[in-house]
Amino acid sequence: MVLESARITDEGIAKLRAQLGRFNRPSRYGMGVYNEYAGRDQIRHFCQGIGDGNPLFQDEEYARKTRYGCITAPPCFLYSVYWCAGRVGGLPGVHGFHSGNDWEFQRTIYVDNRITVKEQFTDIEEKKSEFARRTVITYSVATYRNQRGEVLARTRGWQVRAEREAARETGKYTRKAQAASYTPEEMKAIQDAILAEEIRGANPRFWEDVNVGDEMTPVVKGPLSTGDVLAFRAGCLGGLSHGLQLREFLRHPAFSYKDPKTGAVEAIARVHEQADAAGGTGIPGAYDFGCQRISWLGNLMTNWIGDDGSLKKLHASLRRFNVLGDTQWCKGRVVKKYVQNGEHLVDLELWAENQRHEVTAPSTATAALPSKRE
């Protein structure tokens, strides 16, 4: 399938630069605001979409016994409010690939919080790329607040904009495409690793018991299926259908494409579910959402931290595609521990690694842990 492609031009970049500093309140349409309310069901659906079984986020009886006294949401739940990924518009027909986020979490998201978000277009950078020759990286910063106006978190997101035709011609990823294949023994090892996931929960992880070099119990996600992608979409991103979708496509034609086999107008987001659509962007198969994989790393962190700690920072870069059939081992190790402003902090190196032992998402995080002295 060949998706329509536009060129990155000096004029298009100039128009984007003219918008630098612009604030916007994301709409409720397209990939805009989804969950404005952190209700029990919304939190549960998000957790189901990323495969997070932590009872703190879903079990009312369990959560009442924690320091919070009620269900809370995992920090990356904010992706389900609004997916900040440097998506600032402009350059219609030029594909966008979410490439990373830098999160600072400031407050707990409690059940029944009402959440608002405001985003600012902050930067644009031109790059030469082996993937698609001339590319542009756009950056935005989103601030999330609760119903009292208190800041829950801020994140800087960035997105690579690439010409679809150039990406198809270079074939950087299609040349190297190697479909995932597993022996029965490999599948059993994956399933065993999934079942070995450790949720620290009510067993405190004290700062004094953590040492530099400690490795985290991996969180394993995969082999990635269309069902996994659809479950994540349902819990985190939602979508439009029928007349609502058509009206959105008429307002923003670049959000859609025409399927050459059926003639039907489809959302460009089908690249995450249909191999033919992904191939039109130079990728060898349908692939995960960037915020999906980052949320898995958030899952790794909240598993490790336990109920009495908190995630302070999460910086994640998406470097390789995670196509259907691939498996990701989310791993990490402690690299530093220190006390700052009265908090007992731990810095960690994180990464997602596929079955080919390729690192697909090099990342870092900072956690605050309870201290035995408190």
* Six token digits for residue 344: 């007992």
What does the alpha-carbon distance between residue 170 and residue 160 come to, in Å, rounded to a whole number?
16
- Domain carrying residue 124: 10-368
Classify residue 351 as left (phi > 0), alpha (psi -120 to 50) or beta: beta
> Contact at 8 Å (CB) between 325 and 224?
yes
Specify whether the CB–CB gap between 157 and 138 falls below 8 A. Answer: no
Q: How confident is the model at residue 321 (pLDDT cuts 50, 70, 90)?
A: very high
pLDDT of residue 116: 95
Which amino acid makes up residue 245? Q
Tens digit of each residue's pLDDT (9 = 90 or more) over 168-218: 545 555 545 678 999 999 999 999 999 999 999 999 999 999 999 999 999
Higher pLDDT, 164 or 168: 164
pLDDT over 70 at 67, yes or no: yes
Domain holding 363: CATH number?
Answer: 3.10.129.10
The closest alpha carbon to 259, from 276, 242, 272, 246, belongs to 276
Question: Which distant-in-sequence residues (6+ apart) come within 8 Å of 277 by Cβ?
Answer: 1, 3, 257, 266, 268, 270, 271, 286
Domain assignment of residue 4, yes or no: no
* Tokens describing residue 74: 């995992």
Pairing of the two strands 23-24 and 116-129: antiparallel
Contact status, residue 67 vs residue 56, Cβ threshold 8 Å: no
pLDDT band at 232 (very low <50, low <70, confident <90, very high): very high
User: Would you state the pLDDT for residue 245?
Assistant: 85
* In-domain check, residue 373: no
Question: Which amino acid is present at 86?
Answer: G
Q: Report if residue 340 sits inside a domain.
A: yes
Our measurement of the distance from residue 258's CA atom to the centroid of its chain's CA atoms, rounded to an integer in Å, reads 27
Distance CA 88, CA 20 (A): 10
Q: How far is 229 from 288, CA to CA, in rounded Å?
A: 6
pLDDT in tens, 14-26: 998 999 999 976 7
Asked if residue 218 is part of any domain, the answer here is: yes
Report d(CA 163, CA 281) in Å as an integer: 8
Does 2 fall in a domain?
Answer: no
Q: Which of 105-114, 134-143, 257-266, 294-303 has the lowest mean pLDDT?
A: 257-266
Tens-digit pLDDT profile for residues 4-59: 567 888 888 899 899 999 997 676 555 579 999 999 999 999 999 999 999 999 99
Q: What is the pLDDT of residues 110-141, one digit of tens each?
A: 999 999 999 999 999 988 766 557 889 999 99
- Whether residue 17 lies inside any domain: the answer is yes
> Per the structure, how many domains does the chain have?
1
How far are the Cα atoms of 168, 250, 354 from residue 175, in angstroms, in the given order?
Answer: 10, 35, 18
Residue 358 lies in a domain: yes
- Identify the weakest region by mean pLDDT among 19-28, 155-164, 225-234: 19-28
The mean pLDDT value for 241-263 works out to 81
Cis peptide before 223 (omega within 30 of 0): yes
360 with 337: CB under 8 angstroms? no
Residue 172 lies in a domain: yes
Q: At CA 256, angle to CA 253 and CA 258, rounded to 5?
A: 110
